[in-house]
Structure 1
Amino acid sequence: MKYVRLGSTLKATCVIFFTVKTFSMALAKESYENATKPAPNSELETKLLKIYGGNYGNWIRSFGLLPSWKMPADCLERFIWHGYRPNPNTYTFCIKSAFYPTNETFNFWTHFVAFLFFLWRTLWLWNQVEEPLSSRNCLAWLSCFGCLYVLLASSLAHLFNCKSPTMQEFGFCLDMNAIAVFAGANFFMNINHVCPLYSSEYPDLSVYFIKGVGCLWILMQFVQVFSRHERCAHPVFFRVVIPSVLYGTIMLPCFIRFVFPELLQSTARGAAECGETQLFAKYFRYHFILCIVSSIVKTKRFPERQFPGTFDIIGSSHQIFHITTALAAYYQNKLIEVVLLNPDSSLQQSAPLSLSPQTVFYSIVTYFVVVLPIISLASMDLGRAIELRRTLKKQS
């Protein structure tokens, strides 16, 4: 028992170290070096001219794309120098740009292709289950919806964020909100069917987790809107913290079960105990590692920080972040697959939350009726503030 506790302590220490390291990197003061043109004859200008000064650069510019120093500061990504679409623009140009060599093209396709793949997997799972609309499967379908929604919202946000400042802010707010929906749906799935938490001393532990995480999700929505405000001193920090916290809630039930098994005296059997313990440990480990890697890569801005201009179009940190998060969602979906296809009926015993198909449907409808108008109003206000700053900058 002593060695088990020591191993759990070491694992937790490593997780806390990487988390603090990631957040501390995000707290560094954000400065957009690419907002101004590189100094003449500087090393940076020489590198950029070597990449974009010949036929390749002419080909990029033939699509109407601009360098970073000709773009408004609110449209810039740090250390990305070329391949920007003019903002504002038309819907037609936004759609066509999905096939242009822009710095957003790969961002769009990485999540849109993943969306199509997960849509196929959801339909496949639906056909494999004998009673897809039974109450025991509702949380699994809600989890699948969250995965599809976050991938589609992300891809469309990257595709249409050059339409206008308002659409730019709407896309960001929708993307962050979709991450919250994805995190919530998968958290419910994990804590109910994959890794249910039960302790003889705290029989309502799962219920407390659900209430606490629900309050945290609501708080994160206000924080993500504030991170876009001009008065926010550390926007990068909040933009890293919000998805990190939300993705962390997904892993929380399985993290406690796998890292601190001695703390739980579980009588609620989850899918992780139904003859698939090693398989679930592998899926959870892959999911956890991918989430950590994606946070560090995105915060560290690797590799575009180290190789300016080389990875503007393909290979930037945000694109790597898209790939790793899509892979993490795949391993989360594999956990759902085992739950849906496992014939052991004891999976549903002691589940703290049970939803009917009607409840899931009304929840999704209520979300779109209530939350989307709020996001629209917030993005309109943020968009007007951006337009005002752009106008004042032109006049000065």
Structure 2
Amino acid sequence: MLDLTRFAYYVPSLSFSFEHDMRARLQNLHLRAQSAFISLQNMSRYPCTSEDVPPIFVERYIIHGYRSLHKPWSYYWKSLFHKHNESINVWSHLTGILYMGYLFYYYNKRLNFFENSHSWPFAVSLSTAIIMFLCSAFAHLLHSKSEKIHLTCFSIDYLGVSLHGFGSGFLHIYYSAPEWYYNKIEYEYIFILLLFGILACFLNCFAQDYFSRPYPPLKRVCQFSGCAVLWMYSVIPLIARLFPLNFPLDSTLMCHFGQILFFIIGSILFGFDLPQRFCPGSLDFIGQGHQLFHLCIYLVTVLQMHGVYWDYEDKRTIIDQRTKPDLIFCAGSMLSLLLWNIVTVWYFRRRLREKNCHEK
């Protein structure tokens, strides 16, 4: 039975007036939040610092929370549930996998992927998004085992990035592009997109192979240029759709505008090591630019899927009158890019083995 006497004892002590010193309360709240944030940055379980690991594992302005090398695989798998400087990077994209899986189920019920051939580009893009999140999550989880594993993991990560860039463009041209643009460049667009996807993976793997720590700025230029060209080409249909930009935008155009904006913001934070550049060692666990970039990519993908679905709903009568997409064209283009990227990753891993043999 509820003890009302105890409840009555505490009620009088609660004050709902504004006579208290609000400034003191806010300062106290700020100190508690600051203390909690500092405790999150305390890397007690993985005490390795940037001085304890080889330079290839060191991220600029990230000092604490590195995992030890050459441990059993179980050490890295178990680190999924522990705190280190890659925890947020792993979980942000594991969450992406779960949400993209949910969207696959959700949109399949509405679009019927298995019978509606006009929905196949949507299924292709959802699949590439899941692959991208999967590659990234496991790259960040397992790369610390050794230098060879580190290079292999992030080569596979670049494969996923390339594949998702291709899937995004495939989605945009088929559902979101203005009809005049789609009719003018449909198949040529996909072919060029495929070439840019191969180029993005190749340049990232090449930069990783050619440059060594401490990396010169040219490495990032090489990596970013391939991804930037792929991304810019993939959003041309959206820009054609958005131009001229007349506010207020409806919900669909807001999604398209938002995904472009979030990608630019995330790329700037990642490319210029913001905000950890201004406070080295203070954002090792949470708040570093790479983590914010992951969050932006997650938002980009969510906005992309919802915006394009609404485009399909709005233009369904037009889209359904087009020539039905060929399954071999939809799945085959994705699989051909995947195959080319696997060959690229294999080639540069082979070069790595040869280098190690020569050094020995």
TM-score strictly above 0.5: yes
**Which residue is equivalent to 1:83?**
65
TM-score scaled to structure 1, two decimals? Answer: 0.71
Q: Give, as a single letter, the amino acid of the residue that structure 1 aligns with 2:142.
A: F
**Which residue is equivalent to 1:307?**
279
Q: Name the CA distance, whole Å, in 2 between partners of 1:243 and 1:138.
A: 25
Paired residue for 1:255, among 211, 214, 239? Answer: 239
Q: Name the CA distance, whole Å, in 1 between partners of 2:317 and 2:40.
A: 60
Question: Does the 8 Å CA contact 1:168/1:383 hold for their aligned counterparts?
Answer: no
2:289 equivalent to 1:317: yes
Q: Name the CA distance, whole Å, in 2 between partners of 1:88 and 1:186.
A: 37
TM-score scaled to structure 2, two decimals? Answer: 0.78
Q: Name the CA distance, whole Å, in 1 between partners of 2:226 and 2:251.
A: 29
Q: Name the CA distance, whole Å, in 1 between partners of 2:253 and 2:335.
A: 35
Secondary structure, aligned partner of 2:318: helix
Query: Which 4+ runs in 1 deviate beyond 6 A?
Result: 54-57, 386-389
Structure 1 pair 386/119, CA: closer, same or farther in 2 (3 Å)?
farther
**1:387 CA drift (Å):** 9.2
Structure 1 pair 203/151, CA: closer, same or farther in 2 (3 Å)?
closer
The one-character-per-residue Cα deviations of 1:322-345 (angstroms, maximum 9, x if unpaired) are 001100110101123224555732
Paired residue for 1:183, among 153, 157, 165? Answer: 165
2:136 equivalent to 1:166: no
**1:177 CA drift (Å):** 1.6
Secondary structure, aligned partner of 1:227: helix
Alignment of 1:334-373 (within 5 A): 334-339=306-311, 341-342=313-314, 344-349=316-321, 355-357=325-327, 359-363=329-333, 371-373=341-343
**Which residue is equivalent to 1:42?**
none
The one-character-per-residue Cα deviations of 1:223-261 (angstroms, maximum 9, x if unpaired) are 111111244751122233333333223211111232269
Q: Name the CA distance, whole Å, in 2 between partners of 1:55 and 1:284.
A: 38
**1:372 CA drift (Å):** 2.6
Count residues in correspondence.
Answer: 317
Q: Name the CA distance, whole Å, in 2 between partners of 1:111 and 1:55.
A: 24
**Which residue is equivalent to 1:122?**
104
Secondary structure, aligned partner of 1:83: strand
Paired residue for 2:139, among 157, 172, 188? Answer: 157
Q: Name the CA distance, whole Å, in 1 between partners of 2:97 and 2:263.
A: 18
Secondary structure, aligned partner of 2:208: coil
Q: Name the CA distance, whole Å, in 2 between partners of 1:176 and 1:225.
A: 7
RMSD: 3.1
Q: Name the CA distance, whole Å, in 2 between partners of 1:349 and 1:76.
A: 54
* Structure 2: tracts of 5 or more residues without a match: 1-34
Q: Name the CA distance, whole Å, in 2 between partners of 1:297 and 1:386.
A: 34
Question: Does the 8 Å CA contact 2:255/2:304 hold for their aligned counterparts?
Answer: yes
**1:374 CA drift (Å):** 4.1
Q: Name the CA distance, whole Å, in 1 between partners of 2:260 and 2:288.
A: 22
Paired residue for 2:85, among 82, 103, 122? Answer: 103
Question: Does the 8 Å CA contact 2:97/2:133 hold for their aligned counterparts?
Answer: yes
Instruction: Give me the identity figure in percent.
Output: 19
Paired residue for 1:333, among 305, 311, 326? Answer: 305
**Which residue is equivalent to 1:22?**
none
* Structure 1: tracts of 5 or more residues without a match: 1-50, 262-276, 392-396
Q: Name the CA distance, whole Å, in 2 between partners of 1:85 and 1:131.
A: 42
Q: Looking at CA atoms only, which structure, 1 or 2, has the larger radius of gyration?
A: 2
Question: Does the 8 Å CA contact 1:165/1:386 hold for their aligned counterparts?
Answer: no
Q: Name the CA distance, whole Å, in 2 between partners of 1:321 and 1:387.
A: 36
Q: Name the CA distance, whole Å, in 1 between partners of 2:39 and 2:355.
A: 39
